[in-house]
Amino acid sequence: MFPLIAISAPIDDFFTAIKNDNDGALVTVLFRGFDANTLDSEGRHGLHIALMEGSLKVAKTLLDLSGTKVDTRSKNDETPLMMAALKGNTVFAKRLIARGADVYKTGWTPLHYAATGGHVEMIKLLLENHAYIDTESPNKTTPLMMAAQYGTARAVKLLIDEGADIALKNDVGMTALDFSRLGESRASFDVLTAALKEASKPEPVAQQPAPAAVPVAPAVPAGNQPFKTRSD
C-alpha cells in the first residue's frame, strides 16, 4: 500500500504564507486561482492579519493587487487600517487611505488604535485625513483616554494641542486624567494636569483704550499777539 500523503487545502496554504511572511508561497497560491479576499474564521482579511503579524512583504503583495479589498471588517469590527494604526506603520496606512480605507468609521477607530500605541506620526496622519479627534467608542472612550492609559505623553500632548476635549467622560464617568492614573503614567498625568490648569485660568479682561486727549491750542507768546481789528 502507498503511504498516505497529507495534502493541505489552499486556504491553509494561504494563511500559513501570510503568518510566515512568505510572499513567494502566497503568490503561488494566488496563481492557482485562490481568492485574495478570503476571510479566516474570525472574519479577518489576509491584509488585516499580515499587518497585525508584521508580515510586511505579504502585506505589500496583497496591497499591490488591484482587486484587494482594503476596508473589510472582522467580527470584532477591526479593519486593516486599524492594524496599521496600532503598529504605527504610516507607510501602509498612507497606502490604505489612498485606496479608500475608512479613516472615520464609527465605533472603535483607527485614531483610537494609533493613540493606544502612542504613535505621534500616525495620529498626525489620521487627523490630516479628517479623523474626528473626540470620536467615541461604544463605551464613549476617546482617543485621548486611550493615549493617557496606554500610549505616550507625547501622544497625549499632541491630541490636546490639536483640540481634544480633556473634560469628556466615558460611560462610567472616567476622564482622560482618570485613565492616566489607571495606566500609572506619571508623564501623561502631568501633561493632562498642566492642560487642565491652563484651561481653568480665567479669561483676561480686555482693557478699555484710554480716551483720546483733547488737543489744546498752544499758548501764543506775549510778544507775538495777533493784531486786533481797528474800529476807527
- Assess if residue 209 is contained within a domain: no
- Assess if residue 54 is contained within a domain: yes
Quote the number of domains for the chain: 2
Q: Do the beta carbons of residue 153 and residue 185 sit within 8 Å?
A: yes
This prediction has a pTM of 0.83
Measured distance CA(51)–CA(58) in Å, rounded: 9
Measured distance CA(143)–CA(134) in Å, rounded: 7
At position 74, the amino acid (one-letter code) is: S
Q: Do the beta carbons of residue 150 and residue 180 sit within 8 Å?
A: no
Residue 110 and residue 188 share a domain = yes
Residue 184 and residue 163 share a domain = yes
- Assess if residue 137 is contained within a domain: yes
What is the average pLDDT across 28-39?
95
Measured distance CA(26)–CA(157) in Å, rounded: 42
pLDDT in tens, 96-144: 999 999 999 999 999 999 999 999 999 999 999 999 999 999 999 999 9
